[in-house]
């Protein structure tokens, strides 16, 4: 694994990154966006960098292997030198139908490409001037969308993921990467931003600003169950000592210690 990270960092080629992802992904356990895009949407999935889930904002567990994150980030920077992002979605063998990523930050593009030995796998992107139609089923019976097909096999594609898009069926082994900015960034704490040791907004825009796993014990997300409003939602168990001297988030049962309430500003006292 160490050699694969070094090779992919020193020579950010398609072959080197595919080797790294094949090794690294064996340990991934996160189910990712199954609820959002449906079951069977991919075989393996990880988010690198910042993530948001409901009211929860944090740094993903997969970000813990700093050398691998730097390699992925550096590869993407060679393909998108002017792009900025705080998060990277990595998927193996994606099978995604027509959908939108409405939790992405408005005004910021998705930067996507695909790698591996496969055929097919183009991306369809909604475009009012496009010449390729797609049918969208909705509550009113459906409507036709206009768009265009783009080859993204190690070919950079930037687009507005808040508009409809889908991935063409493919055969073979396909890795898809998408770098983006989630709306959750607006709710990120200063600790999350400092994790990248970056002075500006989009932390992962430079390889040397990848998240530092040595900072994990202090503020990374720890998922627990809580009785807050609905049955067992996830919440952040954060120690906000930097922004709030002397304050430590308490057990889930203590309402004033609920990080969901704290982050959403719903404390009554």
DSSP assignment string, 1-19 = -HHHHHHHHHS--HHHHHH
Domain 2-218 belongs in CATH node 3.20.20? no
| Averaged confidence pLDDT in the chain | 76
Buried b or exposed e, range 94-109, using 16+ CB within 10 angstroms:
bbbebbebeebbeebb
Consecutive H or E run containing 114: strand 110-120
End-to-end CA distance of the chain: 50
* pLDDT computed for residue 101 by the predictor: 95
* Dihedral of alpha carbons 225, 227, 230, 231, sign: positive
Structural contact between residues 147 and 126, judged by C-beta atoms closer than 8 angstroms: yes
Structural contact between residues 199 and 103, judged by C-beta atoms closer than 8 angstroms: no
* Domain boundaries along the sequence of the chain: 2-218, 222-269
* pLDDT computed for residue 136 by the predictor: 95
CA distance 187 to 22: 33
CA distance 28 to 118: 22
196-211 pLDDT, tens digit each: 543 333 444 443 334 3
- As a whole number, mean pLDDT of residues 124-147 equals 94
What pTM does this model have?
0.72
Instruction: Give bridge partners of residue 145 from the DSSP assignment.
Output: 134
Q: How many CB atoms lie within 10 A of CB 217?
A: 9
232-245 pLDDT, tens digit each: 333 333 333 334 44
Least confident residue range of 31-40, 164-173, 217-226:
217-226
Residue carrying the six token digits 């998060």: 87
């Amino acid at each position: 694994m160490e050699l694969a990270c070094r090779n992919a960092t020193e020579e950010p080629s398609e072959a080197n990154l595919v080797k790294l992802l094949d090794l690294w992904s064996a340990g991934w356990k996160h189910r990712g966006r199954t609820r959002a895009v449906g079951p069977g949407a991919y075989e393996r999935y990880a988010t690198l960098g910042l993530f948001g889930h409901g009211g929860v904002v944090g740094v993903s567990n997969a970000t813990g292997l700093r050398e691998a994150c730097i390699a992925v980030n550096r590869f993407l920077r060679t393909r998108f030198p002017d792009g900025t992002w705080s998060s990277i979605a990595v998927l193996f063998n994606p099978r995604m139908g027509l959908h939108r990523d409405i939790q992405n930050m408005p005004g910021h593009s998705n930067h996507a490409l695909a790698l591996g030995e496969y055929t097919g796998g183009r991306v369809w992107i909604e475009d009012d001037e496009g010449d390729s139609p797609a049918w969208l089923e909705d509550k009113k019976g459906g409507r036709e969308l206009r768009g265009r097909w783009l080859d993204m096999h190690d070919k950079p594609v930037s687009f507005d993921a808040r508009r409809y898009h889908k991935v063409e069926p493919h055969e073979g082994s396909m890795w898809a990467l998408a770098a983006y900015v989630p709306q959750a960034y607006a709710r990120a704490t200063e600790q999350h931003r400092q994790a990248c040791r970056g002075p500006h907004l989009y932390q992962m825009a430079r390889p040397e600003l990848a998240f530092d796993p040595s900072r994990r014990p202090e503020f990374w997300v720890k998922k627990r169950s809580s009785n807050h409003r609905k049955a067992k939602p996830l919440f952040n168990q954060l120690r906000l000592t930097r922004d709030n001297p002397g304050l430590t988030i308490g057990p889930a049962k203590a309402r004033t210690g609920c990080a969901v309430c704290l982050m959403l500003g719903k404390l009554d006292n």
